[in-house]
């Protein structure tokens, strides 16, 4: 099986030894507490689950700047985005050597992790601006990732962590949330060697379904990992439980048995386009996948990135920095000429009128009105799940 990133073995930071866990929970009661933002809490979950192997915790300022500028830490580890814990209020933790990280996403803010404090550094405005622009490619506050990153706090708290739980993810999504360790184990138990990963924060329509099948056939894969983001999204994105139900229905009805794993991971969407695409590749390598599908505007938002920027960034990565391979996909749509889903680059003789294409707004409007989507665009069983969601949303809005 493909090796984890930067290590011979996965390095999950979850504390699964009962005695050690109980001791840390007792210690946490006497430690100063810090309530991080949702992004830092999601970083802790990813570190705990082994997805961010080989990192041992949150980066210091030098590493965060080096990663933003050069996609590598000060020690030379290839890494695409800063993994940080930031706050605007450090009064409670000044001088502390160890702190309890509290969960901002669970009622009562229980202890999420224990962090060793190696340093608390104030981020100069110029360096925060540099990190933001290098990571997101823009400083525009209308970019949701920029807005979140800018507001995260001027103090950076670095150091290794021991993670005590997976926040709300394993409770809210018990059938879907999986750690990198669990995914590796299941890939191994299924006897898969070549595995294609498909990243999604949205429901999957016909084009996405066929793209997974195209990529799988092209690389002679044993299976596909459909890996959905379960964390915080921007306003208007479809909730994880609805996506989960729609994707599972599609896989159940339209993929051969034992060819797809439907799983999810606990992370907040960055909307960082090219840089986030590389991060997706890093942690899919950690799950044991050999290939990652990167499509048009992968991990993008609005018009902040070019359609193929997330593919082109992989041409700039040093040779050997990643073991996982990228399947570069074009936009896919149903061809009325050929009566099947195709990638646009494979249909140069087509005009826009030859494809079944619906805007996101049109899809939402049709579903909210109870109108069926064209079967060439979406499987009817999937559309029905989405229709129920949008009709409920519409009813709530109209009172």
What digits encode the pLDDT tens for the residues 154-193?
999 999 999 999 999 999 999 999 999 999 999 999 999 9
CA distances from 29 to 32, 76, 111, 118 (A): 8, 37, 9, 20
What digits encode the pLDDT tens for the residues 107-124?
999 999 999 999 999 999
Task: Look over the chain and give the mean of its residue pLDDT values, rounded to a whole number.
Answer: 95
3-state secondary structure string, 182-242? HHHHHHHHHCCCCEEEEEECCCCCHHHHHHHHHHHHHCCCCEEEEEEECCCCCCCCCCHHH
Looking at residue 226, what is its pLDDT? Answer: 98
Q: Are 344 and 370 in contact (CB under 8 A)?
A: no
Looking at residue 397, what is its pLDDT? Answer: 78
Looking at residue 383, what is its pLDDT? Answer: 94
**Would you say residue 399 has pLDDT above 70?**
no
What digits encode the pLDDT tens for the residues 120-148?
999 999 999 999 999 999 999 999 999 99
Looking at residue 46, what is its pLDDT? Answer: 98
Looking at residue 357, what is its pLDDT? Answer: 85
Q: Rounded CA gap, 48 and 114, in Å?
A: 11
Q: How many CB atoms lie within 10 A of CB 236?
A: 7
Q: How many CB atoms lie within 10 A of CB 251?
A: 20
pTM of the model: 0.95
* Structural domain spans, the chain: 18-170, 175-398
322-353 b/e (C-beta count within 10 Å ≥ 16 → b)? bebbbbbbbbbbbbeeeeebbbeeebeebeee
CATH superfamily of 175-398: HUPs (3.40.50.620)
Backbone conformation region of residue 155, classed left if phi is above 0, alpha if psi is from -120 to 50, else beta: beta
The yes or no reply on domain 18-170 and CATH 3.60.15.10 is no
Looking at residue 188, what is its pLDDT? Answer: 97
Mean pLDDT confidence for 260-280: 97
State the pLDDT confidence band at 396, using cuts at 50, 70 and 90: confident
Q: Rounded CA gap, 234 and 19, in Å?
A: 39
Looking at residue 131, what is its pLDDT? Answer: 98
Q: Do 18-170 and 175-398 share a fold? A: no
Active site residues: 201-202
Q: What angle do CA 36, 37, 40 make, to 5 degrees?
A: 75
Mean pLDDT confidence for 218-241: 91
What digits encode the pLDDT tens for the residues 276-331?
999 999 999 999 999 999 999 999 999 999 999 999 999 999 999 999 999 999 98
What digits encode the pLDDT tens for the residues 191-202?
999 999 999 988
Among candidate residues 161, 130, 34, the one with its CA nearest the CA of residue 87: 34
């Amino acid at each position: 099986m493909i090796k984890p990133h930067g290590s011979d073995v996965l390095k999950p930071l979850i504390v699964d030894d009962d005695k050690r866990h109980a001791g840390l929970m007792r210690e946490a009661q006497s430690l100063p507490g810090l309530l991080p933002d949702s992004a830092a809490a999601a970083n802790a979950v990813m570190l705990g689950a082994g997805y961010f192997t080989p990192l041992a915790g949150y980066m210091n300022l030098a590493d965060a700047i080096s990663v933003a500028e050069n996609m590598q830490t000060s020690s030379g580890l290839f890494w695409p985005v800063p993994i940080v814990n930031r706050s605007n209020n450090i009064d409670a933790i000044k001088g502390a050597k160890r702190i309890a990280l509290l969960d901002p996403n669970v009622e009562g803010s229980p202890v999420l992790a224990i962090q060793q404090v190696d340093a608390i550094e104030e981020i100069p405005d110029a360096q925060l601006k540099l990190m933001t622009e290098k990571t997101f490619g823009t400083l525009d506050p209308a970019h949701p990732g920029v807005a979140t990153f800018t507001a995260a706090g001027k103090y950076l708290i670095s150091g290794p962590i021991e993670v005590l739980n997976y926040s709300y993810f394993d409770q809210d999504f018990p059938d879907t949330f999986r750690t990198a360790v669990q995914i590796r184990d299941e890939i191994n138990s299924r006897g898969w060697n070549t595995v294609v990963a498909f990243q999604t924060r949205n429901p999957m329509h016909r084009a996405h379904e066929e793209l997974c099948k195209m990529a799988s056939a092209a690389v002679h894969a044993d299976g596909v990992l459909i890996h959905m983001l379960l964390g915080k999204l921007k306003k208007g994105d479809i909730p994880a439980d609805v996506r989960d139900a729609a994707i599972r229905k599609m896989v159940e009805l339209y993929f051969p048995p034992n060819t797809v794993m439907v799983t999810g991971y606990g992370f907040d969407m960055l909307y960082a386009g090219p840089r986030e695409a590389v991060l997706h590749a890093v942690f899919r390598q950690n799950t044991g996948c050999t290939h990652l599908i990167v499509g048009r505007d992968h991990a993008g938002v609005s018009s902040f990135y070019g359609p193929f920027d997330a593919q082109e960034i992989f041409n700039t990565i040093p040779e050997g920095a990643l073991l996982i391979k990228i399947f570069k996909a074009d936009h896919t749509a149903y061809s009325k000429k050929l009566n099947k889903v195709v990638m646009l680059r494979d249909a140069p003789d087509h005009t826009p009128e030859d494809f079944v294409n619906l805007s996101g707004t049109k899809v939402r409007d049709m579903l909210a009105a109870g109108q069926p989507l064209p079967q060439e665009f979406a499987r009817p069983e999937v559309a029905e799940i989405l229709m129920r969601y949008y009709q409920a949303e519409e009813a709530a809005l109209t009172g």
